[in-house]
Amino acid sequence: MPGVSPAVPFSYSDIPELGGKTAIVTGANTGIGLEIARALARKGARVLLACRDADKAAAAQADIGSGPERADTGFLPLDLANIASVRDAAEKAAKEDRIDILVNNAGIMFPPLGHATAGCEMQFAVNHLGHFAFTSLLLDKLSQDGGGRVVTQSSIAHKGADIDFDNLDAEQGYAKGEFYGQSKLANLLFAKELDRRLVAAGSSVRSMACHPGIAQTDLTRHMGPLGGVFGSFVGLVLNSAAHGALPALQAATDPEAEGGEYYGPYGFREMSGKRSGRAYATKTARDPELAKRLWDKSIELTGIDPELAPA
């Protein structure tokens, strides 16, 4: 049943050795993304930090490489608000010997109204459309070497959300929180629909979703002066960035993780926890008809077709 965690939850000590594998983590220059990249690199994976700012990526690489553990990292320029940049990043990534793990982690929350891909509101464009396009372009590469995993970061903010297909450009009104929830619902719908289609196609690639609970993150940067205070408070009382990274790491590496599943903190109301397990996805997030509609709309808006038939 949705919301029922497994008897044996996942912790950092359960991450297996990843030597010989290559991972891409979007938004890996800070916060939860940085902790995901760090953990993967510490276990021996080559990790590409996919983000916009080369200087911030270099600082993150230095941070990851400053510890005693081995670290093989690289920078992959990626602006999820720009489909041309997404195409360029996928083309560069495809030149790697292999890609085993793609973690769609990057996101923005509560920004002033802005627009990107096909005139869509910025949160929907970056959090969902950019990742939809990037993943679609890398599916062939992920299918090599026995099949990889796609992990998409959602949020407990998907609860109560819906997709307003008639207002994706926010021309009929913009409420930051509602649009953020919409984008996170889209992430979860996409992850589940992608796995259904991969299974139907007989692909060895698997798609999963996760969420970090309420964790310390740079997502609060659009909340004004109180954002930093709130983020620090969250890190102390609820989830640190490292603990918030754990569900993504479970989805990406746990041999027992299953395609189509959703992982989150193994704590009170999934808001925090030092271990992770299966998380609760709403009925809306599990609606295959809504997911198919979103899939088709995403192809229309990005101009990129994963070429996977519906299940």
Rounded to whole angstroms, what are the CA distances from 234 to 59, 106, 303? 24, 19, 39
**250-260 CB burial, b ≥16 within 10 A, e <16:** bbbbbeebebb
Closest CA to 154 of 102, 215, 205, 105: 105
CA distance from start to end of the chain: 21
Q: Tell me the pairing of strands 46-51 and 22-26.
A: parallel
**118-153 CB burial, b ≥16 within 10 A, e <16:** bebbbbbbbbbbbbbbbbbbbbebbbeeeebbbbbb
d(CA 280, CA 262): 7
What is the maximum span of the chain, computed from C-alpha positions, in angstroms?
A: 53
Kindly calculate the radius of gyration of the chain based on its CA atoms and give it in whole angstroms. 18
Query: Of 12, 180, 266, 280, which residue is the catalytic one?
Result: 180
Is residue 180 among the annotated active site residues? yes
**Residues with catalytic roles:** 180
